[in-house]
Structure 1
Amino acid sequence: MAIEYLVIERIVSAHERHPEDRANPGFSGGEAETMMLRNYGLQGWKLVTVLSEPVSHDNSRRVFYLMREVA
């Protein structure tokens, strides 16, 4: 059985942020990310980790690392 890895990078602007996320500049775009991860999950992908970092006052960078086992 082989393992596939996938890296997804998103630049998320401030307009995607939820009000409760404003205190954390490294996280935003929760609804879009939830749907994205749900769709990948339906294809057998599992989330390994997420890295977040602000890239400007209005934008943050989110990198998602996923994996799945392939027959």
Structure 2
Amino acid sequence: MEELLKQILERIKDNSRATMTVVECAQYIKVNKDKIRELINKPNSDFPYFKNGSKVIINKSQLDSWLDKISREHRNL
């Protein structure tokens, strides 16, 4: 029981972060990480990311808004 509570608290802690990596983003929206990289590298992309050096970071709240927008537009990824 104690181990289960620790796991739940760890997941809550992870979900409260404001940013995520490409791999975390792919897991979050259930797509392949290559699709995330494709969205990032697309010219004039509206995908919500920024870079810290060579590391790509995705803003979680902006990602949620972006997902809402593309869903309303019935856009294909």
With normalisation by structure 2, the TM-score equals 0.28
Tell which structure's C-alpha radius of gyration is larger: 2
Between the two structures, name the one with larger relative contact order (CA 8 Å, sep ≥ 6): 1
